[in-house]
Structure formats: structure tokens, C-alpha cells
Amino acid sequence: MTESFDLLIVGVGGQGTILASNIIGEACILEKRSVRSAETHGMAQRGGSVETHIRIDGIYGPLISPGGADLIISFDLLEALRYRHFLKEGGIIVSASGIVVPVSAFQNNLEIPSEEWILSRLEDVNLIKVDAEKAAREAGSILSQNVVMLGAASHYLPLKKETLLEAVKMLVPKKTVEVNEKAFILGFERSEQTK
Amino acid sequence: MATQYMLGNEAIAHACCEADLDFASGYPGTPSSEVIDTLRFQKERDFYIEWSVNEKVALENALGASWTGVRCLVTMKHVGLNVAADPLMTSGYTGVRGGLVILSADDPFAHSSQNEQDSRIYAKFAGILCLDPSNLQEAHDMMKQAYGLSEEFSLPVLFRPTTRICHSKSDVKIDKCGQEHRKGSFEKDPSQYVVIPVHTRILHKKLDEKQASLAKRLVESGYNFCEVRGKTAVITSGIAAEYVKEIIPEDVSFAKIGAYPIDSEWLKGFVSKHEKVLVVEELSPVVEEEVRQAAVKTTVFGKKDGCVPYEGELDPERTALAFEKAGFKHSKNYPHPVPAEGLPPRPPILCAGCGHRATFYAMKKVFGKSAVYPSDIGCYTLGIQLGTVDTTICMGASITVGSGISHSGDESDVVCTIGDSTFLHTGIQGLLNAVYNGANMTVVILDNRITAMTGHQPNPNTGLTAKGETSPSISLETICRACGASFVETINPYDLTSMLNTFKSAKSTKGVKVVISRQPCVIASRKQGIKRRHYTVNPDACIGCRACVRFGCPAIEFRDEKSSINELCSGCGVCSDICPKGAIIPEGN
């Protein structure tokens, strides 16, 4: 049976998960590989928790079952914890180190999850942490955090770095190609350092 | 031929272009909206396209166009099909000339819907054929062929993708768009198009006579497909077929239903070759009921004996569980890990600076907790988190539910909310009825000038057509007055004081009061380049009273007993009016 490489991209609505998944999908087309993905739409842009399933070399349905993901890319540390049960044993999480605190926490006076608390609950996971915000600022735009994360995750994706970069250039707005290229490279380097 | 990474809805839209589409109409509704959106943003468009005010209007428009011989598409979601059910039920009788495809997208698990109804039942009810794709390539190919099938049988085709078809992506092989377009010409034939009883009785018989040949044709087409491999079998449909394929062992027979009506002789032939059959499908047991009828000695497993859930959506793991319950082996192992507990939830919320939040805040301030707040379908349903949404049932039902409560003898204030698009969809009739029959209530029209929740489609209030051409925007005030309302006031939700005053005067007036709260959607304004100065908290003045936090704006944070404002701020300034200490001020002041 054909086995796919199963990737979950998670984050908060508005962080650019769909663009990130489009870049991976386009890279699959460039490498002439089959791909299946499923996205969260609509209400997601309103700050909710979002997930995109991507199955590289997938030939069946787009959904990954819990415990089946080879890799999780998370744009928010809290969301990495929320979706960790999707990770396969021995899988990897590449996560941004920032936390967007849910409004529900402020409104209902819940305990605000700290980085230490989240990390302690991810101790048994192979976690690569990236300061995506810092790298994106360095690249020239805070909006390029999603591409920083792709660069960081590219070490663990079964796609060529060059293909991913080509897909980035194809899909980001024309004016921002340079910034995003830089963001990808910075992400690639930062993630390498923490290994 | 080219291979592209496409969204299901994009692949479906492209197939329509390949099939020489001439006419498209629809009403937005997740997960169907991107079909019309893809078509309307095509660079070279040589077909007619519109966003209609509701689904009944969209279908009747398309049906009329189809009677002139042009190829038509009409799109909606499952609950929208209820609105269009009236013409749908008779459209099989009158039939069509140009191919007519009615796309109704179903939403198992109700990701963004009020129920989990199954459109396939409507197709059976109406006696029309239904196509039910299981993956994106098939969705594309079926949609392209649907027009020919519709014309062959002179019947509308119900095309029924589900969320995981509409909103998934894959590599899809597509062809060139067609170049051949038709010009409509209506040929009078009252015996076909005027459904007076004397015609209807004949038309109904004709429709019934088509069914057997239709079912056979769908088997020939390959949409209904089976392969005998052993003594046990799985029969499946839609996206569930992909989950089944992923886990089915090689010695278990497989059948896939891609189109309805199912040929009962063909089904019986397959079922009778097996001792045990498991039916795996999402939503209603449509296939299962037919399989149970076809089974003589075969044992059937499915929803009716609890092997497959009635509710929610399937995935490979849940499909594997259904196999296990039926005593079928499958080829994968699932570890069933437990999700982390105790995390703060992150539900979708109204955007920073959304005018709806401010309107809800002012409403609640004036009418209080004891008022009844019927609401409707739109972004503003999220007002449930602010305690201002007490009922939601379907499009347009806030005013009608509200007037029912007002006539019931309940003496609470009734304050209902409805969006501009929803008001134009089916709200007007409710208002007309409430005023004429003397209800006592306040109707708040949350007017953000666009259909925001489904992805910013224009409506007659926006002043733009689906093609992007400007058109005079309707006047909500004039419509409300024409419905008989004498209290019609327009407010700006960013102006808290005048909003509170208007609601107070509505509270003290008898009858149906209409308050139109108008402020363009913040996302749409940002896209148009409108920028406002951000606000900030002066920490010396902040006393940590949390009044601004209770407002629930995602731009407001609270740490170490002080409020702060993050970069999500869109500059509406309402929190500044709420702060009792004047601690929230424009940045740079």
C-alpha cells in the first residue's frame, strides 16, 4: 500500500495557514507528486483555532487520523499542544514560540497559559521551536511568519528546499517576493541551529 | 490537459467552464460559496452570473434560463435547498432544456451550519438525478458530464459535494474552457411549463417513467461501480469511499454509489453475491435503506444497527471503527491518542473593531439581561458569547421568531438582530408580517454592507454586482418604511452615546421599531485601504476594572491587573468610550 507523508499545519485564524498549505501543495505539483489536503474555511478568519491536513503523495481522502501525522507545523505554541495528539509516535513538531492568548482566557479569567507550562506538556515530543516573529521582522515584514515556519520545517518535509522556494515565489504577492525569500532562508537557518 | 493544485470548489467551477456554462446564479453559504466566487473572478467570462438574494430566487432564475436552452448552474448549501425546495419539487415535472445543475453542498459535522441534513433525500423526493462525488477529480469530471446528463433526460441534476470535497485540495487534471456558447430562446409550451393540475398529472407520470432508464444509465456511466472479491462486501458513497479504500483489505468486495437513483436490479445482483455487507456513508442512510431492501439472505450492517454513526463526519479512523463493529477486518492500526486537556478554548470570535460587537454591547446596556434576543444566520451569531443571541434557527427567522414571542404574552422586551444580506434574503417578509400584525419588538439590522461570513460576497446593499459592476444600492430605510415601520433610525455603532440614546427611545416606543446599525465590515474596509489610528492604554490611568475586557475585543488583553491593546486594534474607539477612567486613548496622544 502507498504511504503518504502526513502533515498538519495548525494556528490561529488569520495567521496564513492556508497560504502555507498552498505553497506545499504547489511544490507537490512542481515535483509531480500527488497531494490531498483539507482546510478550515469561513469563520476561521475570525481568530478561531485552525487546522489544515496535507497528505504528500496521498491518494485517498484528505483527513489525517489522530496519531497519524509525521509532522506538525504550528504557528502558535498553544495550538501545538492542542493538536499534539495528531502526532505519530516519533513524529516532529515545528512550532513558532509565540502564544496568542485566546480572548476566552481574558474574558473568563482563565489562567493564561505560559510558555513554560506548555513546554512542560510537550516534553516527550520532538519539538523544534522557532522565534518566527523575530525572524519575520528581520526579513522585513511581520506578515512573513508563515513562510519563516515553512523554511524551518523544510528540513523535515519530503520536498526539495529549491522546490519549496520556487512555490513561495509563485504564491506570495509579487511585491513581497524578496521579503518572503529571506523569511524562508532565515527560518531554514534558525531551525537548523536548534537541532 | 494540465494538472493544478485546486480547491474542490475551484475544480467544480472550472468543470462548468469546460462544459460551456452560460448562466450561473446562487446564494453564498459555506461550504459552497467559492464556486460562484471562482466563476465571477474569472478574467475572461462570457457567461451571465449573479449572486441572487436567496436560493429560491436563484433556482427560479436558472430554471427560467434553462427553459430557453442555455446551460445553467445554481449553487447553495444544504439548508439553502430548503428555501429553494418549492420550485425544486416541481422542476422535475417541467424538466429543463439547457442542462441545469443545482449544486447543494452538504456539511457533515455541521462545521458551519445549523443542521446536518442530507441533500440526496431531496433529489429522491423531487425525482431528479443526484451526483455524489467521492474525490476532487471525480467532482470535476462529474460536474463536466452533468450538463450532458441533464439534457439527455431533460431533468435538473442535483450535484451534492460535502465539506471535505468543497474545501479540500488536490492535484486535479483539467481541460481547456469551452468556447461554444448558446443564446437563449424560449419556446412556448404551456403543457410543459404551466403546472395546472391537468398538465401536472401527465407530467408526474412522465417523470416517473424516466426513473428506470435513468437508473440504468447511471450504472452504464460507471458512477455506480462494484467489484466482487470475496464473500463480504463494503458499499460506500461520497468522500467515505476514499476512507474505505484506505483501509479495505484486498479480499473484501467493494461497491461505490456515485449517482442516484440506484438501479435496484444491479444492486440486488451485487448484494446477493455476499454473506455480509457493510454500508459506510455520511449523513442519512440513503444507500443503506436501498441495500436493506435489496438484501434477501445477506446480513447488512450500517447505521441502523449502530455500526456507522448517524451524526458527524467520517474519517479513516472512524471508518475503521465501523469495520470493527461489523466484525470486518481492516488493514490499518489506529493508536487512539487522547487530546491534551485543560487548554483555554479558542472559538471563532467577532473581529477586532467589528461594529456588531459594539451594537450588541449597547443593546444589552439598554435592554438588559431579561430581554429576549432572537438572532439569525451570519457573523453576528457569534454574539452568543456576549449574551445577545437567544435563538437562531434559519435564515430570516429572527424577526419572525421575535414577533411570535412578542405575541405570546411574554412581557419581556424582544430585540432581534439580522444582517443586511439575511434581511434581503428572507427578512423582509418577516418585517412586513410583524408590522402588519402589530408585533411589539425592536428589529436591529446589523448592516455591514456585505455578506461577510461566507467570504465577502456583494449583495444589493453593497452596490456591486457579482461581476464587480456598480449598481445602485438599495435603501434599507426605504424598504423598512415601505413595510409599514414608522420608527426607522440609522446609527453608527462606533458612536456609543447616540447608539444608547436610539435604543432607549426604541425601548420606550410601542410597535415594531427598526434600528439600522451601519458600519462597513472591518475586513472589507481594511482590504479597501481604510486605516484608523490605533488606541492604547495609559497604564497610569488604568485601574484594572476589566470593563474593556468584558467588551470581548481580541485587541484587548489583560495581564498583571492592567489592560493593554495589541496590534489587532482597528481603531473603532468604542473601548475608549466604555472605559470609566478615560485610560484608553488614541495612539500618539
Contact B5 A28 (CB under 8 A): yes
CA B106/CA B160 separation, integer angstroms: 7
Closest by Cβ to B345, choosing from A28, A32, A102: A102
Q: Which residue has the cell 430548503?
A: B82
Contact B348 A35 (CB under 8 A): no
Across the beta sheet with B299-301, the strand order is: B224-227, B253-257, B232-237, B276-280, B299-301
Per-residue pLDDT for A26 more than 90?
A: yes
Contacts of A117 in chain B (CB under 8 A): none
Contacts of B336 in chain A (CB under 8 A): 66-67
- How far, in Å, are A116, B102, B317, B482 from residue B124 at the CA level? 57, 14, 30, 40
- ipTM of this complex prediction, to 2 decimal places: 0.94
Contacts of B171 in chain A (CB under 8 A): 28-29, 33-35
pLDDT 10s per residue in chain B (589 long)?
Answer: 899 999 999 999 999 999 999 999 999 999 999 999 999 998 887 899 999 999 999 999 999 999 999 999 999 999 999 999 999 999 999 999 999 999 999 999 999 999 999 999 999 999 999 999 999 999 999 999 999 999 999 999 999 999 999 999 999 999 999 988 899 999 999 999 999 999 999 999 999 999 999 999 999 999 999 999 999 999 999 999 999 999 999 999 999 999 999 999 999 999 999 999 999 999 999 999 999 999 999 999 999 999 999 999 999 999 999 999 999 999 999 999 999 999 999 988 899 999 999 999 999 999 999 999 999 999 999 999 899 999 999 999 999 999 999 999 999 999 999 999 999 999 999 999 999 999 999 999 999 999 999 999 999 999 999 999 999 999 999 999 999 999 999 999 999 999 999 999 999 999 999 999 999 999 999 889 999 999 999 999 999 999 999 999 999 999 999 999 999 999 999 999 999 999 999 998 7
Contact B317 A29 (CB under 8 A): no
Contact A61 B164 (CB under 8 A): yes
User: Å from A195 to nearest chain B CA?
Assistant: 25
Residue partners of B557: CB distance under 8 A and separation at least 6: A101, A106, B563, B564, B565, B566
Q: How confident is the model at residue A2 (pLDDT cuts 50, 70, 90)?
A: low
pLDDT at B45: 79
Contacts of A167 in chain B (CB under 8 A): none
Between positions 303 and 342 of B, the ones with CB within 8 A of A are 315-317, 331, 334-340
Contact B343 A37 (CB under 8 A): no
Contact A42 B552 (CB under 8 A): no
pLDDT at B588: 86
CA A138/CA A123 separation, integer angstroms: 29
Between positions 98 and 157 of B, the ones with CB within 8 A of A are 111-112, 135
Give the residue from chain B lying closest to A34, CA to CA: B171
Omega prior to B261 cis, within 30 of 0: yes
Between positions 511 and 570 of B, the ones with CB within 8 A of A are 523, 549-550, 552-554, 556-559
Give the residue from chain B lying closest to A45, CA to CA: B348
Average pLDDT (A23-28) is 98
Question: What pTM was computed for the model?
Answer: 0.96
Closest by Cβ to A61, choosing from B112, B246, B351: B246
Cell (9 digits) for A167: 512555490
Q: Per residue in B501-517, pLDDT tens? A: 999 999 999 999 999 99
CA B185/CA B312 separation, integer angstroms: 45
Q: Per residue in B255-303, pLDDT tens? A: 999 999 999 999 999 999 999 999 999 999 999 999 999 999 999 999 9
- How far is C-alpha B377 from the geometric centre of its chain's CA atoms? 10
Least confident interval from A111-115, A173-177, B222-226, B519-523:
A111-115
pLDDT at A44: 45
Contact B558 A84 (CB under 8 A): no
Contact B168 A62 (CB under 8 A): yes
Instruction: Judge whether B347 is closer than 8 Å to chain A, CB to CB.
Output: yes
User: Å from A189 to nearest chain B CA?
Assistant: 28
Give the residue from chain B lying closest to A142, CA to CA: B567
| Cβ contact A121:B338 at 8 Å | no
Residues paired with residue B232 on neighbouring β-strands, in sequence order: B276
pLDDT at A45: 59
| Cβ contact B136:B34 at 8 Å | no
Give the residue from chain B lying closest to A63, CA to CA: B315
Closest by Cβ to B334, choosing from A34, A67, A112: A67
Contact A46 B552 (CB under 8 A): no
User: What is the SS3 string spanning A47-79?
Assistant: CCEEEEEEEECCCCCCCCCCCCEEEEEECCHHH
Cell (9 digits) for B33: 460559496
